[in-house]
Amino acid sequence: MKFLIVDDHALIREAMRSVLLGLRSDSSVLEAADAQTALQTLQRHSDTDLVLLDLHLPDLDGLQVLSLVAERHPAIAVVMLSGDKDQATMRKALELGAQGFIPKAETREVLTSALALVLAGGVYVPPAALRGAPASTAPAPAIASLSIRPDAASLGLTDRQLEVLTLLMQGKNNKLICRALDLAEPTVKNHVSAILKALGVSSRTEAVLAVTRLGLSLPPVG
């Protein structure tokens, strides 16, 4: 696999390199100290599998870089790294398509587990984001009584809507979901609306939080 670490602190990059090589010893690990270098590197290495992206860079805000990577390289997963534990920032990163948000204060064990989850196709939502979720993001009564590991089909969604939910959990926007499932954009929008209603939430970020909290097992797509 190929990774890119984007952080202006050399010691952080060194630590992240150690973690990544611990997960995949045969991997190639690239580094960038600023946004411009990171974007140029991705242009040359479009086969990168995962980007570890610092929230605060010297030349551009990390969330802006996240948006640019999602637009230019939608197949590349991005995990945000930051010393900032602001819940609104975490949710914004997930809303923009990040596959995870990992506070730098987390232990190596947590970091390793979070990255392993992302590499397996999941989305890592830090506990701080769950604790900070507003009351309105709680599951609707229809799903509140489900078991700890409920089946996703018990939400009452169609097979197609479950496929849309799987892609939504991967951070894909409506256009990418359209391409993956060969659907018209209005159809995808209707499916997303049905998903949000079934989960009792009002945004894609809240849907990610709800699915993670419920431990739902979603069907593979593709």
Question: Distance (Å, rounded) from C-alpha 161 to C-alpha 155?
Answer: 10
Select the CATH number that applies to the domain covering 135-214 from these four: 1.10.3720.10, 1.10.10.10, 3.30.465.10, 2.60.40.1120.
1.10.10.10
pLDDT band at 145 (very low <50, low <70, confident <90, very high): very low
Would you say residue 58 has pLDDT above 50? yes
> pLDDT (tens digit, 9 = 90+) per residue, 146-196?
233 445 556 778 889 888 988 888 778 888 899 999 999 999 999 998 888
pLDDT band at 199 (very low <50, low <70, confident <90, very high): confident
What is the pTM assigned to this prediction? Answer: 0.62
> pLDDT (tens digit, 9 = 90+) per residue, 82-141?
887 788 888 889 888 898 898 887 888 888 888 888 887 778 887 766 554 443 333 333
Domain boundaries, the chain: 2-128, 135-214
Architecture in CATH of 2-128? 3-Layer(aba) Sandwich (3.40)
